[in-house]
């Protein structure tokens, strides 16, 4: 074990030197190495490594070929190091057929072998779309706030590269009423052309995941322009576009059957035209909910009276004659729609007893919370066949987000987020969709998709007994000295790191813990364990955040990650950390251990 010296200058005259020891294997790692290499042995063979992977790491699908490949790669790396140093020192290779303790320790830090999550899709992908949580964007074209930012295809591209599967586009007539802009209506946002957005969606739709991309259209168009949209979509996507085989659909197709396909979700034209009389579009409701968004919203124009001659256009570009022509004006547009959307006119309860074809219902976060207080089980029953999209309330003008669990608890599939709205809520969303290989579709827990023997469904508000406990041990971290400048955290000394370990899920599972502060050390060793009892582990996320303690100011950010508890791999794991936007830091990792303990039922 070596020592690294860091020098810091104080007041331009004095140097402070800090000797920092490089990390050594913690006691638990030494114990595991000794146990699987039969104690007295100085190295671990491929067979012993395989036993470690099976028994300690619970990786029962690993084979002898896997352990031999791991061993070979590490021995090859050792030989290269020895060759480099051979001119200066001669070190006999006494462990040529096995791992030393130090090599075993370094192996545990390798993400390729010890990532905390599986990298492959492993959920059943043959159920209807309604049985999945789907990675969903809100106003996907906005680069910043909801009022004055630029609209662009760049955030759409970024979202698709991250695995987002639902892209929302707001469609409005352009200034000359002969083409279509994508823009947040009645705000000062600068538009982007629809055709540019569609071409970018086509190019990037399947770079991260082969599972279907759903485009939700919030349209404010004349029947003439709706027909133009249908023509553009058909031309851009061609055979990638999925058309429903029956009208109405009685069950949604599966993600597996829709690989590589683009789906359209919007209101059928007739419903849209009728809704204009009720001022019932999503964007209007978002703008008006809990008051106006802001004084800078462009005021709504007066709607032409139905008795006028029909030559004047209302604020959506619709004439009275257009309104009477309903969906027959744009049959091509109606034919594109796989997921028929709608918003409740009147009470939400009336829309939860859906019969006939399946549909998508859109509710604001506020509407969902209000409805769930009384009709929680009805919402769960509705989402077993139909889709609910939840969107941010209109007062979130800075593009902030809400806690996604308010939707997931009730089976809502499309919890729509502002992907440019960085913060803890977005970390939760990113964490959930690291599950299932990051493909953008996460199978809902069985209790949200199945009915009981008497047709009953779960009540998410009901308190449940503890199901299992998660033990989390935080050993150490490193990589900050590579990714950050020497004075990034503290001008006069190395950083003082601590780790926050939190559970986010149903209200009963909320928990927050933190380690002690390790002072003046770029390579902190905490070696602390926490235990979290869980009532609904299927919806729980483990949030990990490293901060640098500052006595006089706000603690500095040192990296974060969110991991779906149900997907955690047991044993020692190298956990990569991400920046505040969700981009993975190049070098920063924690060494941790995860263990699950089933709860013992209490006797009556």
Provide the annotated active-site residues. 138, 184
User: E strands, 208-329, where?
Assistant: 213-219, 262-266
Closest alpha carbon to 156 in 217, 191, 208, 198: 198
DSSP 151: B
- The closest alpha carbon to 531, from 594, 576, 587, belongs to 594
Closest among 497, 463, 494 to 481, alpha carbons compared:
494
Q: How far apart are CA 370 and CA 393, in angstroms?
A: 13
- Please give the Cα distance from 159 to 157 (Å, whole number): 5
Phi, then psi, of 189 in degrees rounded to 5: -65, 145
φ and ψ at residue 553, rounded to 5 degrees = -130, 180
Sole residue written with tokens 């503290």: 490
- Dihedral, CA of residue 46, residue 52, residue 57 and residue 60, to nearest 10: 70
Taking the C-alpha atoms of residue 374 and residue 410, their distance in angstroms, rounded to an integer, is 12
> Which among 143, 193, 361 is positioned nearest to 271, based on CA atoms?
361
Q: Which CA distances in Å does 339 have to 216, 238, 359, 361, 386?
A: 9, 19, 6, 10, 9
Q: SS3 string of 125-137?
A: CCCCHHHEEECEE
Closest CA relative to residue 585, chosen from 480, 474, 498: 480
**Residue indicated by tokens 């008795």:** 307
CA pair distance 355, 563, nearest whole angstrom: 37
CA dist 499 and 480 (Å) reads 14
Residue tagged 């419903």 (tokens):
271
Q: At what angle do helices 27-36 and 101-108 cross, to 10 degrees?
A: 120
Residue 415: φ, ψ to 5°: -90, 100
Tell me the C-alpha distance between 231 and 448, whole Å: 38
| The two structure tokens encoding residue 311 | 């030559």
Give the C-alpha distances (Å, rounded to integers) separating 54 from 66, 67, 71, 264, 569: 12, 11, 16, 45, 12
Phi, psi of 511, deg, nearest 5: -155, 145
Instruction: State the first-to-last Cα distance of the chain, in angstroms, to the nearest integer.
Output: 55
Whether a cis peptide bond, with omega within 30° of 0, leads into 248 is yes
């Amino acid at each position: 074990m070596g020592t690294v010296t860091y020098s810091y200058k104080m007041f331009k005259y004095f140097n402070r030197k800090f000797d920092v020891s490089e990390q050594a294997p913690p006691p638990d790692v030494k114990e595991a190495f000794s146990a699987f290499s039969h104690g007295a042995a100085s190295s671990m063979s491929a067979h012993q490594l395989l036993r470690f992977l099976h028994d300690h790491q619970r990786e029962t699908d690993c084979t002898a070929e896997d352990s031999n490949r791991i061993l070979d790669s590490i021995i090859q790396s050792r030989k290269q190091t020895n060759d480099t140093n051979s001119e200066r020192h001669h070190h006999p290779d006494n462990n040529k057929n096995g791992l030393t303790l130090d090599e075993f320790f370094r192996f545990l830090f390798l993400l390729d072998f010890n990532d905390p999550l599986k990298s492959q899709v492993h959920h059943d992908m043959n159920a209807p779309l309604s049985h999945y949580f789907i990675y969903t964007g809100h106003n996907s074209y906005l680069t910043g706030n909801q009022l004055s930012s630029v609209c662009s295809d760049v955030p759409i591209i970024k979202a698709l590269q991250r695995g987002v599967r639902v892209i929302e586009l707001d469609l409005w007539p352009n200034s000359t009423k002969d083409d279509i802009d994508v823009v947040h209506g009645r705000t000062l946002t600068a538009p982007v052309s629809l055709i540019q957005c569609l071409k970018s969606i086509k190019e990037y739709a399947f770079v991260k995941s082969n599972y279907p991309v759903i485009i939700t259209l919030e349209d404010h168009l004349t029947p003439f322009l709706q027909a133009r949209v249908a023509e553009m979509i058909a031309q851009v996507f061609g055979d990638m576009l999925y058309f429903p085989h029956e009208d109405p659909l009685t069950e949604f197709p599966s993600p597996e059957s829709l690989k590589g396909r683009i789906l359209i979700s919007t209101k059928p034209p007739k419903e849209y035209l009728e809704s204009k009389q009720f001022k019932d579009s999503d964007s209007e409701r978002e703008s008006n909910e809990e008051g106006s968004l802001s004084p800078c919203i462009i005021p709504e124009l007066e709607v032409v009276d139905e008795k006028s001659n029909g030559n004047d256009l209302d604020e959506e570009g619709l004439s009275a004659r257009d309104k009477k022509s309903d969906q027959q004006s744009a049959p091509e547009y109606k034919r594109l729609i796989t997921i028929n959307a709608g918003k409740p006119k009147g009470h939400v309860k009336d829309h939860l007893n859906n019969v006939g074809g399946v549909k998508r219902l859109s509710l604001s976060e506020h509407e969902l919370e209000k409805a769930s207080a009384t009709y929680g089980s009805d919402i769960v029953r509705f989402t077993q066949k139909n889709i609910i999209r939840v969107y941010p309330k209109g007062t979130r003008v800075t593009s902030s987000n809400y806690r996604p669990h308010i939707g997931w608890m009730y089976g809502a599939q499309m919890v729509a987020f502002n992907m440019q709205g960085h913060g803890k809520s977005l970390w939760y969303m990113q964490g959930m969709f690291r599950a299932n290989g990051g493909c953008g579709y996460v199978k809902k827990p069985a209790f949200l998709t199945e009915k009981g023997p008497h047709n009953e469904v779960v009540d998410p508000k009901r308190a449940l007994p503890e199901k299992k406990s998660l033990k989390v041990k935080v050993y150490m971290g490193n990589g900050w000295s590579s990714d950050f400048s020497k004075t990034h955290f503290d001008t006069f000394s190395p950083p003082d790191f601590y780790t926050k370990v939190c559970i986010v899920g149903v209200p009963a599972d909320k928990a927050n813990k933190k380690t002690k502060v390790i002072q003046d050390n770029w390579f902190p060793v905490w070696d602390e364990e926490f235990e979290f009892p869980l009532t609904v582990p299927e919806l729980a996320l483990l949030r990990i955040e490293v901060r640098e303690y500052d006595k006089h100011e706000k603690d500095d950010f040192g990296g974060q990650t969110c991991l779906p508890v149900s997907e955690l791999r047991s044993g020692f794991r190298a956990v990569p950390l991400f920046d505040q936007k969700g981009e993975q830091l190049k070098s920063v990792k924690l060494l941790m251990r995860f263990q699950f303990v089933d709860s013992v039922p209490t006797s009556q």
